[in-house]
Structure 1
Amino acid sequence: MLRVMLVDDEPPARRSLRQLLAAHDDIEVVAEAASVGQALALMAEVAPHVLFLDVELLDGRGFDVIRAAEHRPELRPLHIVFVTGYSRYAIEAFDVEAMDFLLKPVEPDRLTLTLDRLRRRIGPAPVPDEPAPARARSAPERLLVTLSGQSLYLPLDAIISVLAEGDYSRITIGSGQSYLICRLLGQFAAELPSPPFLRLSRSVIVNIGSIARVVWRDGGRARLHFNDTAPSLELGRAGTRRLRQLSATHAGLGEAPTLHMG
Protein backbone atom coordinates (compact mmCIF):
# COMPACT_ATOMS: atom_id res chain seq x y z
CA MET A 1 0.00 0.00 0.00
CA LEU A 2 1.41 3.39 -1.01
CA ARG A 3 0.89 5.86 1.81
CA VAL A 4 -0.15 9.27 0.52
CA MET A 5 -0.52 12.60 2.29
CA LEU A 6 -2.44 15.55 0.83
CA VAL A 7 -1.20 19.08 1.53
CA ASP A 8 -3.53 21.81 0.29
CA ASP A 9 -5.16 24.77 2.03
CA GLU A 10 -8.46 24.28 0.15
CA PRO A 11 -10.66 21.51 1.65
CA PRO A 12 -12.65 21.03 -1.61
CA ALA A 13 -9.39 20.44 -3.50
CA ARG A 14 -8.27 17.84 -0.95
CA ARG A 15 -11.67 16.17 -1.06
CA SER A 16 -11.66 15.99 -4.85
CA LEU A 17 -8.17 14.49 -4.99
CA ARG A 18 -8.96 12.02 -2.21
CA GLN A 19 -11.99 10.81 -4.17
CA LEU A 20 -9.86 10.29 -7.29
CA LEU A 21 -7.24 8.38 -5.31
CA ALA A 22 -9.92 6.15 -3.76
CA ALA A 23 -10.34 4.46 -7.16
CA HIS A 24 -6.87 2.92 -6.75
CA ASP A 25 -6.80 -0.01 -4.32
CA ASP A 26 -3.08 0.26 -3.55
CA ILE A 27 -3.26 3.92 -2.50
CA GLU A 28 -4.03 4.97 1.06
CA VAL A 29 -4.50 8.61 2.11
CA VAL A 30 -3.04 8.61 5.61
CA ALA A 31 -3.26 12.33 6.45
CA GLU A 32 -4.22 15.79 5.20
CA ALA A 33 -2.73 19.19 6.01
CA ALA A 34 -3.47 22.80 5.10
CA SER A 35 -0.21 24.48 6.08
CA VAL A 36 3.55 24.00 6.18
CA GLY A 37 3.50 23.51 9.95
CA GLN A 38 0.71 20.94 9.87
CA ALA A 39 2.40 19.09 7.03
CA LEU A 40 5.72 18.73 8.85
CA ALA A 41 4.06 17.61 12.08
CA LEU A 42 1.93 14.98 10.35
CA MET A 43 4.76 13.76 8.13
CA ALA A 44 6.74 12.81 11.22
CA GLU A 45 3.69 11.04 12.67
CA VAL A 46 2.33 9.04 9.73
CA ALA A 47 5.45 8.58 7.52
CA PRO A 48 3.90 8.91 4.05
CA HIS A 49 5.64 7.63 0.93
CA VAL A 50 4.27 10.45 -1.24
CA LEU A 51 3.18 14.07 -0.75
CA PHE A 52 0.58 15.52 -3.10
CA LEU A 53 1.62 19.11 -2.44
CA ASP A 54 0.04 22.44 -3.35
CA VAL A 55 2.38 25.39 -3.87
CA GLU A 56 0.53 28.16 -2.03
CA LEU A 57 -0.39 27.21 1.54
CA LEU A 58 -1.79 29.06 4.56
CA ASP A 59 1.59 29.85 6.11
CA GLY A 60 4.01 29.60 3.20
CA ARG A 61 4.68 27.55 0.09
CA GLY A 62 4.98 23.88 -0.66
CA PHE A 63 8.66 24.42 -1.40
CA ASP A 64 9.09 25.35 2.29
CA VAL A 65 7.91 21.85 3.23
CA ILE A 66 10.54 20.29 0.96
CA ARG A 67 13.37 22.49 2.27
CA ALA A 68 12.46 21.76 5.89
CA ALA A 69 12.29 18.01 5.21
CA GLU A 70 15.79 18.06 3.72
CA HIS A 71 17.19 18.82 7.18
CA ARG A 72 15.19 16.11 8.95
CA PRO A 73 16.43 12.60 8.10
CA GLU A 74 13.34 10.98 9.61
CA LEU A 75 11.20 12.60 6.89
CA ARG A 76 13.16 11.08 4.00
CA PRO A 77 13.05 9.48 1.47
CA LEU A 78 9.94 11.23 0.25
CA HIS A 79 8.39 11.55 -3.20
CA ILE A 80 6.70 14.80 -4.20
CA VAL A 81 3.85 15.40 -6.64
CA PHE A 82 2.88 19.06 -6.97
CA VAL A 83 -0.81 19.79 -7.48
CA THR A 84 -1.50 23.45 -8.24
CA GLY A 85 -3.53 25.81 -10.36
CA TYR A 86 -0.47 27.73 -11.58
CA SER A 87 1.68 26.36 -14.38
CA ARG A 88 4.40 28.96 -13.72
CA TYR A 89 5.71 26.85 -10.84
CA ALA A 90 6.54 23.86 -13.06
CA ILE A 91 10.22 24.65 -13.58
CA GLU A 92 10.79 25.34 -9.88
CA ALA A 93 8.98 22.09 -9.04
CA PHE A 94 11.27 19.98 -11.17
CA ASP A 95 14.30 21.87 -9.83
CA VAL A 96 13.53 20.25 -6.47
CA GLU A 97 13.22 16.84 -8.22
CA ALA A 98 9.44 16.50 -7.92
CA MET A 99 8.08 13.26 -9.36
CA ASP A 100 5.33 15.06 -11.25
CA PHE A 101 3.43 18.31 -11.64
CA LEU A 102 -0.39 18.25 -11.89
CA LEU A 103 -2.62 21.16 -12.76
CA LYS A 104 -5.99 21.63 -11.09
CA PRO A 105 -8.57 20.36 -11.72
CA VAL A 106 -6.80 17.01 -11.84
CA GLU A 107 -7.98 14.66 -14.57
CA PRO A 108 -8.39 10.98 -13.58
CA ASP A 109 -6.36 9.69 -16.55
CA ARG A 110 -3.53 12.11 -15.81
CA LEU A 111 -3.52 11.05 -12.16
CA THR A 112 -3.28 7.40 -13.24
CA LEU A 113 -0.11 8.20 -15.20
CA THR A 114 1.36 9.87 -12.12
CA LEU A 115 0.57 6.88 -9.93
CA ASP A 116 2.14 4.52 -12.46
CA ARG A 117 5.33 6.60 -12.30
CA LEU A 118 5.29 6.44 -8.54
CA ARG A 119 4.84 2.67 -8.54
CA ARG A 120 7.79 2.24 -10.89
CA ARG A 121 9.96 4.55 -8.79
CA ILE A 122 9.00 3.28 -5.36
CA GLY A 123 8.54 -0.36 -6.31
CA PRO A 124 5.62 -2.69 -5.64
CA ALA A 125 3.46 -1.72 -2.71
CA PRO A 126 3.33 -4.12 0.25
CA VAL A 127 0.49 -6.62 -0.03
CA PRO A 128 -2.52 -5.09 1.81
CA ASP A 129 -3.25 -8.37 3.57
CA GLU A 130 0.27 -8.67 5.00
CA PRO A 131 0.15 -8.52 8.83
CA ALA A 132 1.51 -5.30 10.26
CA PRO A 133 4.79 -5.49 12.17
CA ALA A 134 4.54 -5.76 15.93
CA ARG A 135 4.86 -2.52 17.85
CA ALA A 136 7.16 -1.95 20.80
CA ARG A 137 5.98 -3.22 24.17
CA SER A 138 6.20 0.34 25.49
CA ALA A 139 3.05 1.36 23.58
CA PRO A 140 0.71 3.61 25.61
CA GLU A 141 -2.20 2.03 27.49
CA ARG A 142 -4.61 4.85 26.61
CA LEU A 143 -5.54 6.68 23.42
CA LEU A 144 -5.88 10.47 23.56
CA VAL A 145 -8.62 11.90 21.34
CA THR A 146 -10.26 15.32 21.11
CA LEU A 147 -14.04 15.57 21.00
CA SER A 148 -16.06 18.82 21.15
CA GLY A 149 -13.15 20.70 22.69
CA GLN A 150 -12.52 18.01 25.32
CA SER A 151 -9.60 15.62 25.64
CA LEU A 152 -10.63 12.01 26.25
CA TYR A 153 -8.30 9.23 27.34
CA LEU A 154 -9.73 5.92 26.12
CA PRO A 155 -8.22 2.72 27.57
CA LEU A 156 -6.88 0.66 24.67
CA ASP A 157 -8.37 -2.56 26.00
CA ALA A 158 -11.83 -0.93 25.95
CA ILE A 159 -11.67 -0.08 22.22
CA ILE A 160 -13.12 -2.76 19.95
CA SER A 161 -13.02 -1.05 16.56
CA VAL A 162 -12.16 2.11 14.64
CA LEU A 163 -14.05 2.71 11.39
CA ALA A 164 -13.48 5.31 8.69
CA GLU A 165 -16.36 7.70 7.99
CA GLY A 166 -15.14 10.16 5.36
CA ASP A 167 -12.82 12.70 6.99
CA TYR A 168 -13.69 11.23 10.41
CA SER A 169 -13.14 7.99 12.30
CA ARG A 170 -15.65 6.32 14.62
CA ILE A 171 -14.23 4.64 17.72
CA THR A 172 -16.47 2.07 19.40
CA ILE A 173 -15.78 0.76 22.90
CA GLY A 174 -16.95 -2.41 24.61
CA SER A 175 -19.95 -0.75 26.27
CA GLY A 176 -21.36 -0.02 22.81
CA GLN A 177 -20.71 3.72 23.04
CA SER A 178 -19.00 5.32 20.05
CA TYR A 179 -17.11 8.55 19.39
CA LEU A 180 -16.85 10.33 16.03
CA ILE A 181 -13.35 11.84 15.88
CA CYS A 182 -12.04 14.31 13.30
CA ARG A 183 -9.00 12.23 12.33
CA LEU A 184 -8.30 9.96 9.37
CA LEU A 185 -8.16 6.23 9.97
CA GLY A 186 -4.54 6.09 8.78
CA GLN A 187 -3.50 8.25 11.73
CA PHE A 188 -5.03 5.77 14.18
CA ALA A 189 -3.40 2.88 12.30
CA ALA A 190 -0.02 4.52 12.87
CA GLU A 191 -0.69 5.11 16.57
CA LEU A 192 -2.46 1.99 17.84
CA PRO A 193 -0.27 -0.99 18.88
CA SER A 194 -0.37 -3.99 16.56
CA PRO A 195 -1.28 -6.51 17.83
CA PRO A 196 -3.92 -6.42 19.18
CA PHE A 197 -5.17 -3.73 16.76
CA LEU A 198 -5.08 -4.87 13.15
CA ARG A 199 -6.23 -3.03 10.06
CA LEU A 200 -8.46 -5.49 8.20
CA SER A 201 -9.28 -3.16 5.29
CA ARG A 202 -8.95 0.45 4.20
CA SER A 203 -11.86 1.43 6.45
CA VAL A 204 -11.69 -0.99 9.41
CA ILE A 205 -9.35 -1.42 12.38
CA VAL A 206 -10.32 -4.09 14.91
CA ASN A 207 -9.02 -5.04 18.34
CA ILE A 208 -8.72 -8.79 17.70
CA GLY A 209 -8.47 -9.41 21.43
CA SER A 210 -12.08 -8.26 21.77
CA ILE A 211 -13.56 -10.63 19.16
CA ALA A 212 -15.79 -13.28 20.76
CA ARG A 213 -17.09 -14.97 17.62
CA VAL A 214 -16.83 -14.80 13.83
CA VAL A 215 -19.71 -15.79 11.57
CA TRP A 216 -18.49 -16.55 8.04
CA ARG A 217 -21.10 -15.51 5.50
CA ASP A 218 -21.76 -16.34 1.88
CA GLY A 219 -20.24 -14.06 -0.72
CA GLY A 220 -16.85 -13.85 0.99
CA ARG A 221 -18.06 -11.78 3.93
CA ALA A 222 -18.01 -12.16 7.71
CA ARG A 223 -19.65 -10.67 10.80
CA LEU A 224 -17.68 -10.05 13.99
CA HIS A 225 -19.36 -10.40 17.39
CA PHE A 226 -17.77 -8.87 20.47
CA ASN A 227 -19.94 -9.02 23.60
CA ASP A 228 -23.56 -8.53 24.66
CA THR A 229 -23.42 -4.73 24.64
CA ALA A 230 -21.14 -3.89 21.70
CA PRO A 231 -22.67 -3.93 18.21
CA SER A 232 -21.51 -6.60 15.77
CA LEU A 233 -19.49 -5.56 12.73
CA GLU A 234 -19.97 -6.66 9.12
CA LEU A 235 -16.78 -7.06 7.09
CA GLY A 236 -16.50 -6.72 3.32
CA ARG A 237 -14.60 -9.14 1.11
CA ALA A 238 -11.17 -7.55 1.63
CA GLY A 239 -11.53 -7.50 5.40
CA THR A 240 -12.87 -11.05 5.47
CA ARG A 241 -9.99 -12.29 3.34
CA ARG A 242 -7.46 -10.87 5.75
CA LEU A 243 -9.39 -12.17 8.74
CA ARG A 244 -9.28 -15.69 7.29
CA GLN A 245 -5.54 -15.38 6.93
CA LEU A 246 -5.28 -14.26 10.55
CA SER A 247 -7.49 -17.10 11.77
CA ALA A 248 -5.11 -19.54 10.07
CA THR A 249 -1.98 -17.92 11.51
CA HIS A 250 -3.18 -16.31 14.75
CA ALA A 251 -0.82 -18.37 16.90
CA GLY A 252 2.05 -16.26 15.59
CA LEU A 253 0.38 -13.05 16.66
CA GLY A 254 0.84 -13.68 20.35
CA GLU A 255 -2.09 -11.65 21.65
CA ALA A 256 -4.65 -12.75 19.08
CA PRO A 257 -7.59 -14.89 20.24
CA THR A 258 -8.75 -18.13 18.75
CA LEU A 259 -11.27 -17.15 16.08
CA HIS A 260 -14.38 -19.33 16.12
CA MET A 261 -16.54 -20.01 13.11
CA GLY A 262 -20.24 -19.65 13.65
Structure 2
Amino acid sequence: MIRVLVVDDEALVRSGLRMILETADDIVVVGEARDGEEAVGAAARLRPHVVLMDVRMPGTDGLTAAARVLATADPPKLVMLTTFDLDEYVHEALRLGAVGFLLKDTPPRDLTAAVRTVAAGQAMLSPSVTRRLIDAFVDKAPSRSESARRRLASLTGREEDVIRALARGLSNAEIGRDLRLSEATVKAHVSRVLAKLGLTNRVQAAILVHDADL
Protein backbone atom coordinates (compact mmCIF):
# COMPACT_ATOMS: atom_id res chain seq x y z
CA MET A 1 0.00 0.00 0.00
CA ILE A 2 1.14 3.53 -0.80
CA ARG A 3 0.99 5.59 2.39
CA VAL A 4 0.02 9.24 1.83
CA LEU A 5 0.02 12.28 4.12
CA VAL A 6 -2.27 15.13 3.03
CA VAL A 7 -1.34 18.67 4.13
CA ASP A 8 -3.69 21.61 3.55
CA ASP A 9 -5.14 24.30 5.80
CA GLU A 10 -8.61 23.84 4.29
CA ALA A 11 -10.55 20.94 5.80
CA LEU A 12 -12.69 20.62 2.67
CA VAL A 13 -9.62 20.19 0.46
CA ARG A 14 -8.12 17.58 2.80
CA SER A 15 -11.41 15.68 2.90
CA GLY A 16 -11.77 15.77 -0.88
CA LEU A 17 -8.24 14.52 -1.46
CA ARG A 18 -8.70 11.73 1.06
CA MET A 19 -11.97 10.60 -0.58
CA ILE A 20 -10.37 10.54 -4.03
CA LEU A 21 -7.20 8.77 -2.98
CA GLU A 22 -8.93 6.11 -0.91
CA THR A 23 -11.03 5.00 -3.86
CA ALA A 24 -7.80 3.34 -5.05
CA ASP A 25 -7.11 -0.16 -3.74
CA ASP A 26 -3.37 0.49 -3.40
CA ILE A 27 -3.42 3.91 -1.66
CA VAL A 28 -4.18 4.74 1.97
CA VAL A 29 -4.20 8.20 3.57
CA VAL A 30 -2.37 7.66 6.86
CA GLY A 31 -2.86 11.19 8.15
CA GLU A 32 -3.73 14.83 7.58
CA ALA A 33 -2.09 18.07 8.70
CA ARG A 34 -3.44 21.62 8.79
CA ASP A 35 -0.15 23.49 8.48
CA GLY A 36 3.53 23.01 7.92
CA GLU A 37 4.41 22.48 11.57
CA GLU A 38 1.88 19.67 11.88
CA ALA A 39 3.13 18.25 8.59
CA VAL A 40 6.73 17.96 9.78
CA GLY A 41 5.66 16.11 12.92
CA ALA A 42 3.20 13.87 11.07
CA ALA A 43 5.77 12.96 8.42
CA ALA A 44 8.26 11.89 11.11
CA ARG A 45 5.65 9.96 13.07
CA LEU A 46 3.66 8.29 10.27
CA ARG A 47 6.47 7.66 7.75
CA PRO A 48 4.34 8.15 4.61
CA HIS A 49 5.67 7.23 1.19
CA VAL A 50 4.20 10.39 -0.36
CA VAL A 51 3.35 13.80 1.10
CA LEU A 52 0.92 16.10 -0.71
CA MET A 53 1.83 19.55 0.64
CA ASP A 54 -0.11 22.78 0.13
CA VAL A 55 2.16 25.71 -0.67
CA ARG A 56 0.55 28.58 1.22
CA MET A 57 -0.69 27.92 4.76
CA PRO A 58 -0.84 29.98 7.96
CA GLY A 59 2.03 29.62 10.40
CA THR A 60 4.70 27.37 8.93
CA ASP A 61 4.08 27.46 5.17
CA GLY A 62 4.50 24.61 2.74
CA LEU A 63 7.88 25.73 1.47
CA THR A 64 9.42 25.89 4.93
CA ALA A 65 7.86 22.55 5.86
CA ALA A 66 9.07 20.99 2.60
CA ALA A 67 12.66 21.98 3.36
CA ARG A 68 12.43 20.42 6.83
CA VAL A 69 10.77 17.21 5.65
CA LEU A 70 13.20 16.74 2.77
CA ALA A 71 16.18 17.29 5.07
CA THR A 72 15.35 14.19 7.14
CA ALA A 73 16.92 10.78 6.64
CA ASP A 74 15.09 8.74 3.98
CA PRO A 75 12.48 11.44 3.31
CA PRO A 76 9.14 10.74 1.65
CA LYS A 77 8.40 11.78 -1.92
CA LEU A 78 7.05 15.31 -1.66
CA VAL A 79 4.56 16.80 -4.09
CA MET A 80 3.37 20.39 -3.78
CA LEU A 81 -0.30 21.33 -4.13
CA THR A 82 -0.83 24.66 -5.84
CA THR A 83 -2.77 26.95 -8.11
CA PHE A 84 -1.10 28.79 -10.99
CA ASP A 85 -0.77 32.04 -9.00
CA LEU A 86 1.61 30.25 -6.62
CA ASP A 87 3.92 28.72 -9.20
CA GLU A 88 6.99 30.63 -8.06
CA TYR A 89 6.78 28.92 -4.67
CA VAL A 90 6.49 25.53 -6.31
CA HIS A 91 9.58 26.24 -8.37
CA GLU A 92 11.56 26.86 -5.19
CA ALA A 93 10.19 23.63 -3.71
CA LEU A 94 11.47 21.75 -6.76
CA ARG A 95 14.90 23.19 -6.11
CA LEU A 96 14.70 21.90 -2.55
CA GLY A 97 14.02 18.38 -3.79
CA ALA A 98 10.25 18.07 -4.22
CA VAL A 99 9.44 15.65 -7.04
CA GLY A 100 6.68 17.66 -8.63
CA PHE A 101 3.41 19.45 -8.14
CA LEU A 102 -0.32 19.00 -8.54
CA LEU A 103 -2.97 21.58 -9.22
CA LYS A 104 -5.80 21.43 -6.70
CA ASP A 105 -8.31 20.85 -9.49
CA THR A 106 -6.43 17.80 -10.83
CA PRO A 107 -8.98 15.18 -12.02
CA PRO A 108 -9.36 12.23 -9.62
CA ARG A 109 -7.87 9.67 -12.03
CA ASP A 110 -4.82 11.87 -12.61
CA LEU A 111 -4.40 12.42 -8.88
CA THR A 112 -4.17 8.72 -8.06
CA ALA A 113 -1.94 8.12 -11.07
CA ALA A 114 0.38 10.92 -9.92
CA VAL A 115 0.68 9.43 -6.44
CA ARG A 116 1.58 6.05 -7.94
CA THR A 117 4.12 7.70 -10.23
CA VAL A 118 6.04 9.48 -7.47
CA ALA A 119 5.79 6.51 -5.11
CA ALA A 120 7.50 4.44 -7.81
CA GLY A 121 10.41 6.87 -7.83
CA GLN A 122 9.53 8.91 -10.92
CA ALA A 123 9.40 12.70 -10.95
CA MET A 124 6.28 14.46 -12.17
CA LEU A 125 7.51 16.31 -15.24
CA SER A 126 4.48 17.17 -17.30
CA PRO A 127 5.73 18.46 -20.64
CA SER A 128 2.77 20.86 -20.94
CA VAL A 129 2.66 22.27 -17.41
CA THR A 130 5.84 21.67 -15.44
CA ARG A 131 8.09 22.87 -18.24
CA ARG A 132 6.04 26.08 -18.48
CA LEU A 133 6.50 26.59 -14.75
CA ILE A 134 10.25 26.09 -15.01
CA ASP A 135 10.53 28.39 -18.05
CA ALA A 136 8.55 31.12 -16.30
CA PHE A 137 10.33 31.15 -12.97
CA VAL A 138 13.90 29.92 -13.46
CA ASP A 139 16.29 32.71 -12.58
CA LYS A 140 18.00 33.69 -15.83
CA ALA A 141 20.76 35.72 -14.20
CA PRO A 142 24.05 35.30 -16.11
CA SER A 143 25.86 33.96 -13.06
CA ARG A 144 23.30 31.17 -12.62
CA SER A 145 23.34 30.33 -16.30
CA GLU A 146 27.13 30.19 -16.40
CA SER A 147 27.26 28.08 -13.26
CA ALA A 148 24.76 25.61 -14.74
CA ARG A 149 26.78 25.36 -17.97
CA ARG A 150 29.96 24.66 -16.02
CA ARG A 151 28.28 21.84 -14.13
CA LEU A 152 26.89 20.31 -17.31
CA ALA A 153 30.29 20.51 -18.99
CA SER A 154 31.37 17.51 -16.90
CA LEU A 155 28.94 15.26 -18.81
CA THR A 156 29.82 13.11 -21.78
CA GLY A 157 28.02 13.68 -25.06
CA ARG A 158 25.67 10.76 -24.46
CA GLU A 159 24.95 11.90 -20.90
CA GLU A 160 24.09 15.36 -22.22
CA ASP A 161 21.70 13.80 -24.73
CA VAL A 162 20.00 11.93 -21.90
CA ILE A 163 19.65 14.94 -19.60
CA ARG A 164 18.28 17.08 -22.44
CA ALA A 165 15.64 14.42 -23.14
CA LEU A 166 14.92 14.13 -19.44
CA ALA A 167 14.33 17.90 -19.27
CA ARG A 168 11.68 17.50 -21.98
CA GLY A 169 9.72 15.34 -19.56
CA LEU A 170 10.37 12.03 -21.31
CA SER A 171 10.25 8.72 -19.48
CA ASN A 172 13.16 6.27 -19.60
CA ALA A 173 11.34 4.24 -22.24
CA GLU A 174 10.73 7.33 -24.40
CA ILE A 175 14.35 8.45 -24.04
CA GLY A 176 15.45 4.97 -25.08
CA ARG A 177 13.33 5.13 -28.23
CA ASP A 178 14.65 8.60 -29.12
CA LEU A 179 18.30 7.70 -28.54
CA ARG A 180 18.06 4.06 -29.63
CA LEU A 181 19.14 2.75 -26.26
CA SER A 182 17.67 0.06 -24.05
CA GLU A 183 15.58 1.22 -21.11
CA ALA A 184 18.11 -0.35 -18.73
CA THR A 185 20.94 1.62 -20.36
CA VAL A 186 18.94 4.86 -20.07
CA LYS A 187 18.25 4.15 -16.40
CA ALA A 188 21.98 3.65 -15.81
CA HIS A 189 22.78 6.90 -17.63
CA VAL A 190 20.18 8.82 -15.58
CA SER A 191 21.55 7.46 -12.29
CA ARG A 192 25.11 8.32 -13.34
CA VAL A 193 24.14 11.84 -14.44
CA LEU A 194 22.32 12.58 -11.17
CA ALA A 195 25.26 11.29 -9.13
CA LYS A 196 27.82 13.22 -11.20
CA LEU A 197 25.88 16.47 -10.84
CA GLY A 198 25.02 15.97 -7.18
CA LEU A 199 21.27 16.00 -7.84
CA THR A 200 18.58 14.00 -6.06
CA ASN A 201 15.89 13.70 -8.74
CA ARG A 202 14.91 14.28 -12.37
CA VAL A 203 13.13 17.55 -11.66
CA GLN A 204 16.31 19.15 -10.34
CA ALA A 205 18.15 17.89 -13.44
CA ALA A 206 15.54 19.50 -15.69
CA ILE A 207 15.82 22.80 -13.85
CA LEU A 208 19.61 22.71 -14.28
CA VAL A 209 19.21 22.23 -18.04
CA HIS A 210 16.80 25.17 -18.22
CA ASP A 211 19.15 27.30 -16.09
CA ALA A 212 21.83 26.65 -18.69
CA ASP A 213 19.45 27.66 -21.52
CA LEU A 214 20.12 24.38 -23.33
Q: TM-score, normalised by structure 1?
A: 0.42
CA distance change for structure 1 residues 33 and 89 in 2, over 3 Å: closer, same or farther?
same
Which fold has the larger relative contact order, with Cα–Cα distance below 8 Å and residues 6 or more apart in sequence?
2
> More strand per residue: 1 or 2?
1
Q: Which runs of 4+ in 1 moved over 4 A?
A: none
CA distance change for structure 1 residues 69 and 18 in 2, over 3 Å: closer, same or farther?
same
- In the TM superposition, residue 106 of structure 1 has moved relative to its aligned partner by 2.4
Say which of 71, 76, 79 aligns to 1:78.
76
Partner of 1:40: 40
Partner of 2:14: 14
- In the TM superposition, residue 44 of structure 1 has moved relative to its aligned partner by 1.9
* Partner Cα distance (1:77, 1:38) in 2: 16
Indicate yes or no: 2:63 matched with 1:63.
yes
Q: What SS class does the counterpart of residue 110 from structure 2 fall into?
A: helix
Partner of 1:110: 110
User: Which digits, 9 at most, give the CA deviation of each residue in 1:95-136, with x for residues without a partner?
Assistant: 2232221112221132133123124318xxxxxxxxxxxxxx
Q: Specify every segment of 5 or more residues in structure 1 that has no aligned partner in the other structure, as ranges.
A: 123-262
CA distance change for structure 1 residues 58 and 97 in 2, over 3 Å: closer, same or farther?
same
CA distance change for structure 1 residues 23 and 64 in 2, over 3 Å: closer, same or farther?
same
Q: Percent identity?
A: 33
* Partner Cα distance (1:66, 1:101) in 2: 12
- In the TM superposition, residue 90 of structure 1 has moved relative to its aligned partner by 3.5
CA distance change for structure 1 residues 38 and 88 in 2, over 3 Å: closer, same or farther?
same
Range with bigger deviation, 2-11 or 86-95: 86-95
- In the TM superposition, residue 36 of structure 1 has moved relative to its aligned partner by 1.7
* Partner Cα distance (1:97, 1:68) in 2: 11
CA distance change for structure 1 residues 116 and 43 in 2, over 3 Å: closer, same or farther?
closer
* Partner Cα distance (1:45, 1:120) in 2: 22
Q: What SS class does the counterpart of residue 121 from structure 2 fall into?
A: helix
* Partner Cα distance (2:18, 2:98) in 1: 20
> More helix per residue: 1 or 2?
2
Report if aligned partners of 1:17, 1:106 keep a CA contact under 8 Å in 2: no
* Partner Cα distance (2:107, 2:89) in 1: 19
Report if aligned partners of 1:83, 1:101 keep a CA contact under 8 Å in 2: yes
Larger Rg: 1
* Partner Cα distance (2:35, 2:119) in 1: 27
- In the TM superposition, residue 71 of structure 1 has moved relative to its aligned partner by 4.3
Report if aligned partners of 2:36, 2:61 keep a CA contact under 8 Å in 1: yes
In structure 2, what residue type is equivalent to 1:84? T
Alignment of 1:204-219 (within 5 A): none
Report if aligned partners of 2:2, 2:116 keep a CA contact under 8 Å in 1: no
Q: What SS class does the counterpart of residue 80 from structure 1 fall into?
A: strand
Partner of 1:2: 2
What is the CA RMSD across the aligned residues, in angstroms?
Answer: 1.9
Report if aligned partners of 2:82, 2:90 keep a CA contact under 8 Å in 1: no
Q: Specify every segment of 5 or more residues in structure 2 that has no aligned partner in the other structure, as ranges.
A: 123-214
* Partner Cα distance (2:87, 2:70) in 1: 24
Q: What SS class does the counterpart of residue 58 from structure 1 fall into?
A: coil
Q: What SS class does the counterpart of residue 56 from structure 1 fall into?
A: coil
- In the TM superposition, residue 89 of structure 1 has moved relative to its aligned partner by 3.0
- In the TM superposition, residue 62 of structure 1 has moved relative to its aligned partner by 1.0
CA distance change for structure 1 residues 13 and 79 in 2, over 3 Å: closer, same or farther?
same
